[in-house]
């Protein structure tokens, strides 16, 4: 039996962004978002007979980026990359954050650019960062365009750097441009839609962007911010802005969340999405919910990812998968294969 091919767009320039270290609670540790993340997933997906790998070797339109991100954020990424290239500095790390003094008269925003446009220290910018993030965003936009063109109903954007911590005017958490929000913005041509975030961490950047947008429903399952990054967002009482009340649904989960609790919560989230009657879906796909992930406190097994895919597929919506986290590098390919098996109902062999 013939099955529709699933296009997988991967950004050819993602390796231009490869910081060696990050600061974590005062310690200098190895940077978790390594280029090998994409390589492992790409290799594993290439082995699936129903996948079509497509290289994304282009950037994206500044005008389209400005529909989602503030121009000053885009300038920050561009100018800081240029500065790093010009002075030979490997990576520029934000270090001083204005906080309560953000509106002080005479503030030199240029000098304080890192602190002005980042909410943490986990998104350093190097000479190749701008190129990498533009290609990552382009892969998500090409995935969305493939849906619009009617060429597929399920498309995978293998984004790196990830995007769901990037807000309208801030970077953070390995994220610079919000790939899921950019894909959603293009898919609005089909009418209203939904974003489902199943990364281990709350998609604070995505929530910031769609907070007051009545045309986008945002649902996020994540570790409870009472104990986990990003701490300040992702609580259940965050439900949308004045023009879009009830369009945000957060499902914070406790440490040790297992398959049953996660899948029961996912069904609740999917019911909320279905009630919104969306015309399309973007999934912020994080594999850091896996029990063996470096950053996770959850205990999800491989079986959970098959069921996740199956439940999401039951919405029967044109869907873009945008890669977010997942830091057990050796397992990422298997996790991606397993999730797609659930989404498509097709085993690795190509059989139903």
Q: Using CA atoms, how far apart are residues 198 and 177, in angstroms rounded to an integer?
A: 18
Beta bridge partners of 28: 23
Q: Which of 165, 201, 202, 222 is catalytic?
A: 165
Q: Using CA atoms, how far apart are residues 142 and 261, in angstroms rounded to an integer?
A: 34
Flag whether pLDDT at 350 surpasses 90: no
The structure tokens 């030979």 sit at 88
pLDDT for residue 110: 60
Annotation says 3 is catalytic: no
Q: Using CA atoms, how far apart are residues 319 and 312, in angstroms rounded to an integer?
A: 9
pLDDT for residue 95: 82
Q: Using CA atoms, how far apart are residues 288 and 279, in angstroms rounded to an integer?
A: 28
Contact assessment for residue 348 and residue 312, using Cβ atoms and an 8 Å cutoff: no
Q: Name the CA radius of gyration of the chain, rounded.
A: 19
Q: Name the pLDDT band for 181 (thresholds 50, 70, 90).
A: very high
Note the pLDDT tens digit of each residue in 247-257: 999 999 999 99
Report the chain's mean pLDDT, rounded to a whole number.
93
Q: Using CA atoms, how far apart are residues 10 and 78, in angstroms rounded to an integer?
A: 22
The structure tokens 């998500």 sit at 140
The CATH label, of 3.40.50.1820, 1.10.240.10, 3.40.800.20, 2.60.120.10, for the domain at 6-344 is: 3.40.800.20
pTM score, whole prediction: 0.96
Structure tokens that stand for 176 in this block: 């610079």
- Helices 329-344 and 302-313, packing angle to 10 deg: 40
Flag whether pLDDT at 297 surpasses 80: yes
156: enclosing H helix or E strand: strand 154-157
Report, in this order, helix, strand and coil percent for the chain, each rounded to 5: 35, 20, 45
- Angle (CA) 258-260-264 rounded to 5° is 120
Flag whether pLDDT at 46 surpasses 60: yes
Q: Using CA atoms, how far apart are residues 182 and 177, in angstroms rounded to an integer?
A: 8
């Amino acid at each position: 039996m013939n099955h529709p091919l699933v296009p997988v767009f991967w950004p050819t320039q993602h390796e231009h962004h490869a910081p060696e270290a990050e600061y974590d609670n005062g310690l200098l540790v190895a940077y978790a978002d390594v280029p090998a993340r994409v390589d492992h997933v790409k290799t594993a997906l290439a082995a699936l007979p129903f996948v079509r790998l497509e290289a994304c070797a282009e950037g994206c339109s500044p005008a389209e980026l400005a529909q989602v991100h503030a121009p000053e954020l885009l300038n920050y990424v561009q100018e800081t990359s240029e500065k790093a290239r010009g002075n030979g500095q490997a990576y520029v790390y934000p270090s001083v954050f204005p906080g309560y003094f953000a509106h002080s008269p005479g503030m030199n925003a240029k000098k304080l650019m890192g602190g002005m446009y980042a909410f943490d220290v986990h998104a350093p910018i190097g000479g190749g960062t701008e190129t990498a993030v533009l290609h990552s965003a382009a892969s998500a936009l090409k995935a969305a365009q493939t849906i619009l063109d009617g060429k597929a109903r399920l498309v995978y954007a293998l984004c790196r750097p990830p995007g769901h911590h990037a807000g309208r005017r801030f970077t953070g958490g390995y994220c610079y441009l919000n790939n899921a929000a950019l894909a959603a913005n293009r898919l609005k041509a089909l009418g209203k839609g939904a974003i489902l975030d199943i990364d281990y961490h709350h998609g604070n950047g995505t929530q910031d962007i769609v907070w007051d947008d009545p045309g986008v429903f945002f649902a996020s399952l994540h570790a409870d911010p009472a104990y986990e990054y990003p701490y300040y967002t992702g609580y259940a009482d965050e439900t949308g802005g004045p023009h879009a009340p009830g369009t945000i649904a957060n499902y914070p989960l406790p440490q040790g969340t297992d398959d049953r609790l996660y899948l029961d919560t996912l069904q609740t989230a999917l019911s909320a999405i279905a009630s919104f009657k969306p015309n399309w879906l973007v999934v912020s796909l994080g594999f850091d919910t896996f029990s063996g992930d470096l950053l996770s406190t959850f205990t999800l097994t491989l079986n959970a990812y098959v069921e996740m895919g199956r439940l999401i597929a039951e919405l029967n919506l044109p869907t873009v998968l945008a890669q977010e986290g997942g830091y057990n590098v050796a397992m990422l390919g298997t996790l991606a294969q397993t999730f797609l098996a659930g989404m498509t109902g097709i085993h690795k062999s190509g059989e139903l």
